[in-house]
Structure 1
């Protein structure tokens, strides 16, 4: 039987805390979501001052990154380059930059999605969270 790593609750808490610290250090009011490899929500937090809609967008970005096994930014780029058929991809709603897969030993074990500031800043926060696993 094959075995693969997975995100434990302690891992999720470390990722979330590091992402939150990055957001707070930059005074960015965001929502942060962590999902497992199937896109199931494990963690969601909306920092004070973050727009309510960000609490829906962050999990969608994370789910897209987990299920697609790639950053959600790639879908946004494909759509912007004219491949609008991806707008109808089943189960994918967060086709915006800001979802980053968590990769351990070559396996996507989940993803982090962030929403609330510029997309590149959302990614910065997500990657800071993921870095906590190293």
Structure 2
């Protein structure tokens, strides 16, 4: 099963990061990533730049685009990892090892797969997505 580990900032983590040695952060993240690669659980991941960013709001009749990514630091996603693990507990164990600053939060979410849509197995787009994924992995 796949899980997404989503890094989230808070005012406390932004403050803690301000005083850190960036090269030390790069080294800690690199070692963490390398440990996941060595264990065979890392599928993908990247950091997210704060700008440029946009929010597309679908509340109205037509979508409205505003500068983003978000208005408040506590809503800011800084990056993510996708891990492939046997259980949710294993994904949580990897999340707890992340070298993040005090005040940071790491949200862990299961990535959906075809079993989540078993009731729609004959749907045209479910079938097409299987083909797209096969092409992507080839």
TM-score (norm 1): 0.30
Higher relative contact order (CA 8 A, sep 6+): 2
Whose radius of gyration is greater, 1 or 2? 2
- Structure with more strand by fraction: 2
